[in-house]
Amino acid sequence: MSDKLIEVVDNAGVVRLTITRPKALNALNSAVLGELEHVLVELEGRDDLRAVLITGAGEKSFVAGADIAEMRDKTPEQARDFARAALATFKRLETLPVPTVALVNGFCLGGGCELALACDWAVASDNAVFGQPEVLLGVIPGFGGTQRLPRRVGPAMALDLCTTGRKIDAAEALRIGLVNRVMAQSELEAYAEELTKQLGGNGPQSVRAAKQAIHDGMDQDLDSALALENALFAFCFAGDEQTEGMSAFVEKRKPNF
C-alpha cells in the first residue's frame, strides 16, 4: 500500500488528487500540505493538463480543517510561517491554468473549506457540512478564508460564518453560492466521470482562456477587464481550436479538439 498522503490519478490530463489521511478526517498537517505543494508544482508546468479534481479519502470527510493537534503549540511566528506556506500552496492551486473542482464528500471545515474556496468549483454530497469554526478554537481562518469566502458568498454571509463558527449543511451551502451543485454521495463518482469527459472534450486553449479572463478580470476595473477579454478572444482565433470548433458546427459534426 502506498504511504502517499496525496494520491494522484491521471486520466488523459484530467488529474484527480485524493487527500489520504482518513483517520484524521483528512486534516491538513504540514506533511499533507508539503505533498500538495509538490504535486501542484509538477502539474502547473504541464501543457497537457485539462482539469484538476480534488477530494478526500473515505466517505466521511473532504477535509476537516488544518491539523489542530499540530497547530496547538505553535508560537505566533511559527503559526505565521505555517499559514504563509499554505497560502502560497492554495494560491498555486487557484492559479492553475485549468478548471479545478473540489469534490466535497463530507466534512469541509476550516482549512478544508478554504481549500474548496481555492478551487473554481465545489460539488458536494448532500451529507456535506461546511463551516469556518476557527473562532471556536480561538483563531481565525488562516488559509485565505477571510478573503475568498466574502468574494464567493458576499461579506454578510462570510461575517456570519467566520464570527459564529456555525456549521451549515449542503443545501445552505448551495443556496449561498458556496458550492455549485449538491448530489447524493453515491452520485459523486458518476458526476466526476461525466465532468472529466466534458472538460476533456472541450478545446483546452479556450477553456484556459475562459478561466484566465474570469480570474484575472475579477481583480481589475471593468474597462481593463473587458480589454483583457478582448485580447483573449482574439488570441483564440490564433490557434487551430477555433477553426476546428466552427468548422465542426458548419459541417454538422462533433469537434475534435
CB of 112 to ligand CO8, least distance (A): 7
Torsion of CA 131, 136, 138, 143, to 10 degrees: -10
> Which of residues 28 and 176 has its CB atom nearest to ligand CO8 in the complex?
28
N- to C-terminal Cα separation, the chain: 37
Of the two residues 13 and 90, which places its CB atom closer to ligand CO8 in the complex? 90
CA 58, 196, 66, 39 dihedral sign is positive
Q: Is residue 134 near ligand CO8 by the rule CB under 6 A?
A: yes
Task: Identify which of residues 83 and 209 has a Cβ nearer to ligand CO8 in the complex.
Answer: 83
Following CA atoms 109, 110, 112, 113 in sequence, which dihedral angle do they give, to the nearest 10 degrees? 80
Interface with ligand CO8 (CB under 6 A), residue total: 23
Contact 78, 42 (CB under 8 A): no
Our finding on whether 111 is near ligand CO8 (CB under 6 A) is yes
Closest CA to 95 of 240, 234, 215, 12: 215
The 45-84 contact track toward ligand CO8, x by CB under 6 A, reads -------------------xxxxxx-x-------x--xx-
Which residues are marked as active site? Answer: 114, 134
Residue 155, judged by CB atoms within 10 A of its CB (0-12, 13-18, 19+), counts as exposed
- When the beta carbons of 107 and 130 are compared against ligand CO8, the nearer one is 107
**Would you tell me which residues interact with ligand CO8 (CB under 6 A)?**
24-25, 27, 64-69, 71, 79, 82-83, 107, 109-111, 133-134, 137, 141-143
